[in-house]
Amino acid sequence: MKDENADKPAEFDAEIKLWYRAQAQETPSAELDDAIMSLAKSANQSKKADNLVVVDNSFWRRHRWPISSAASVMFVATLLLINQDETQELLSDESYAPVMMQMEADAQESELPVTLRKSEPRAMMSAPSVDEQQVQLQGAAQNEVIQVDVISEVAKDVSLQGRNADVKAKIKSLSDSKPIKTMPQRDAVVSAKQAVNHLESLVKQEQWVEAEKLVLKIRKNYPQLKNEDHPQHLRWKTLSEQVIIPLPKPSVPASDK
Amino acid sequence: MAEALNERAEADVDQQLMSQYSQGDTSAFESLYQKHKGGLYRYFVRQIGDLQLAEDLYQETWGRVIKAASSYETSAKFTTWLYRIAHNLLIDHVRAVKPVDLFSEAFTEEQDADSLLPSDTQAPDTQFEEGVKAKLLKHCISLLPTVQKEALLLNMEGGFTAGGIAEVVGISLEATKSRIRYANQSLKACVMNKWQEVENER
């Protein structure tokens, strides 16, 4: 249905406007005016009072996210710098070894001869696999040093005591032979008991060459086995005698007498 | 054209006064209040029969203006904002509760006829006729449907065009125009009929 007034202008007639203006114009009372004005003034004053505490414009509040982020980064970086060693250990393969192994290694380390421990820095002990080759090389060098020491010691004894041909041959074979196959540094760390056990197993298998090498090594590395109070002393003595024929006591030449 | 420019300048002045008040200038608010108090007051009083309620709503409207002064957007025309607050208050407090009873019934048929009877001491005829028709218009306005009455008051008191009224009330432009046309037609017919009755009684 079409609006019949649609074509007419949407405003009131001038006559109606005139009559409307001719009406009495009501206005609010003075009390009402005062009440509203006092409300406006009090609102303005309270707004001024509120403005005294400028919280929103605070520097720290405005930049709270960047500042807190920077502080967090600084804190973490400081922690990492302070605990650098621990971090490296955590990141290394060593951290995956069982706890018992670590404890055992510590115990074994305490039994190592001082020379060996000194020559093997802590950093090398816990070095990651990346440096393993280097560690092995150092271990090989160390073993060679040990080997040479043993040989020189034996040779010294021979020269003094006039060793027999059998012993000479053994020494010769030792000196001619290649150095002991190098083992990783970690494998070298064994207790005296373990070394004796290993020696016993070699004797049982009649691997005399290896057994001899081991005896010499044990003699060098575990001097405490010579002590009669040592729990492994008897075993060590028996086994070593089986492997290496004891050298005859040097005979004093008649001329010296 | 000149009227539109004048209206625009008035709106700019209102916005400036409002921003000055939001910055703490109470005298700016006073100017603003003096400028708009009459129209807003009559907007309430002529729609609501209860004077006390009309004054309460009037005061509440200005209270909301004061409270929201800091968040006032200069993009909105001040009078549009002011009358929208008033319209919403009127809807909330009056129409939703008692849609019929509270609206002005200032005149009854009997009162109307008696009060409008001419006296011998009154002014010349034309002046007399305008005076009588003004009183008749007041009565006729009270008979208008609520929405048409509001459209008339917004036009007469607030100075709004059809577009402005549509914005304040929240209806379409076409609906507003329709309300204005019907109100205009009804008022004219009502006043002429009443005037005829007065003439007959003379």
The answer on pLDDT for B47 being more than 80 is yes
pLDDT at A44: 79
Query: Using beta carbons and an 8 Å cutoff, which residues of A are at the interface with B?
Result: 3, 5-6, 8, 10-13, 15-20, 22-23, 25-29, 32-33, 35-37, 39-41, 43-44, 47-48
Residue B69 with chain A: CB contacts under 8 Å: 43
Q: Nearest C-alpha of chain A: how many angstroms from B177?
A: 5
> Are the C-beta atoms of A215 and A235 separated by less than 8 Å?
no
Q: Specify the pLDDT at position A98.
A: 47
Name the average pLDDT for chain B: 81
Architecture of the domain spanning B106-202 = Orthogonal Bundle (1.10)
| The pLDDT of residue B100 | 45
CB distance A10–B162 less than 8 Å? yes
At residue A224 the predicted structure's pLDDT band, cuts being 50, 70 and 90, is confident
Average pLDDT score over chain A? 68
Q: Where are the domains of chain B?
A: 1-104, 106-202
**Burial A183-203, CB ≥16 within 10 A → b, else e:** eebbebbbbbbebbeebbebb
DSSP state of B119: -
- CB contact (8 A) between residue A47 and residue B63: no
Whether residues A19 and B69 touch (CB distance < 8 A) is answered with no
Range scoring the smallest mean pLDDT among A28-32, A50-54, B34-38: A50-54
Interface test with B, best of A21, A29, A44 (most B CBs within 10 A): A44
Question: Is the pLDDT score of B63 beyond 90?
Answer: yes
Q: Which comes out higher in pLDDT, residue B22 or B33?
A: B33
pLDDT value for A26: 87
DSSP string, A121-147: -HHHHT--GGGHHHHHHHHHHHHHHHH
Give the residue from B20, B66, B132, B194 with the most A CB atoms within 10 Å of its CB, the best one to mutate. B66
With 90 as the cut, is the pLDDT of residue B13 above it? Answer: no
Answer yes or no: is pLDDT of A190 > 90: no
**How far away is chain B from the Cα of A4, in angstroms, using its nearest Cα?**
10
Nearest to A193 by CA among A235, A252, A151, A245: A235
Q: How many angstroms separate the CA atoms of B130 and B135, rounded?
A: 9
Percent of chain A having pLDDT more than 70? Answer: 47
CB contact under 8 A, B156 and A27: no
Q: What pLDDT was estimated at residue B65?
A: 92
pLDDT tens-digit readout, A116-135: 444 444 444 444 444 455 54
Percent of chain A exceeding pLDDT 90 equals 12
CB hemisphere CA count around B185 (13 angstroms) = 12
Alpha-carbon B202 to chain mean position: 32
| Minimal-distance CA residue of chain A relative to B62 | A36
CB B140 within 8 A of CB B190: yes
Fold of B1-104: Rna Polymerase Sigma Factor; Chain: A (1.10.1740)
pLDDT band at B172 (very low <50, low <70, confident <90, very high): very high
User: In Å, how far is A2's CA from the nearest CA of chain B?
Assistant: 12
- Of the pLDDT bands very low, low, confident and very high (cuts 50, 70, 90), residue A144 is low
C-alpha distance from A82 to closest chain B C-alpha (Å): 52
Residue B69 CA neighbour count, 13 Å, CB half: 26
Q: Is B103 helix (H, G, I), strand (E, B) or coil?
A: strand
pLDDT at A88 over 90: no
Interchain CB distance below 8 Å, A10 and B177:
yes
Chain A nearest CA to B155, separation (Å): 8
The answer to whether the beta carbons of residues B103 and B48 sit under 8 Å apart is: yes
Q: Which of A1, A5, A24, A7 shows the shortest CA–CA distance to B188?
A: A5
pLDDT at B111: 44
Between these two residues, B106 and B201, which has the higher pLDDT value?
Answer: B201
**Could you give the dihedral angle defined by the CA atoms of residues B121, B123, B125 and B128, in that order, rounded to the nearest 10 degrees?**
-100
- Rounded to a whole number, what is the distance in Å from the CA of A40 to chain B's nearest CA? 6
- Smallest Cβ–Cβ distance between B152 and the set A12, A22, A47 belongs to A12
Answer with the residue of higher pLDDT: A128 or A217: A217
Over residues A177-183, the mean pLDDT reads: 50
Which whole number is the average pLDDT over B115-141? 71
Beta bridge partners of B48: B103
Write down the pLDDT at residue A127: 43
Judged on CB neighbours under 10 Å (0-12, 13-18, 19+), A130 is: exposed
d(CA B118, CA B112): 12
Amino acid sitting at position B109: E
Give the model's confidence band at B98: pLDDT under 50 very low, under 70 low, under 90 confident, else very high. low
Shortest CA distance from A32: residue in chain B: B59
Whether the predicted pLDDT of B195 surpasses 90: no
Q: What is the pLDDT of residue A68?
A: 94
pLDDT value for A242: 83
In chain A, the residue whose alpha carbon lies closest to the alpha carbon of B30 is A37
pLDDT score of A86 more than 70: no
Which residue shows structure tokens 């302070």?
A82
pLDDT value at residue A233: 87
pLDDT(A72) > 90: yes
What chain A residue is nearest to B68 in terms of C-alpha separation? A43
More confident residue, A134 or A19: A19
Identify any residues that bridge with B103 across adjacent strands, giving them in sequence order.
B48
Helix ranges, chain A (H): 14-21, 30-51, 59-62, 64-82, 84-91, 99-111, 114-119, 122-125, 132-161, 165-176, 185-188, 192-204, 208-221, 233-243
Give phi and psi for B48, each to the nearest 5.
-115, 130
Q: Which of A153-162, B126-135, B187-196 has the lowest mean pLDDT?
A: A153-162
pLDDT of residue B150: 92
The number of C-beta contacts closer than 8 angstroms across A and B is 106
What pLDDT does A208 receive? 87
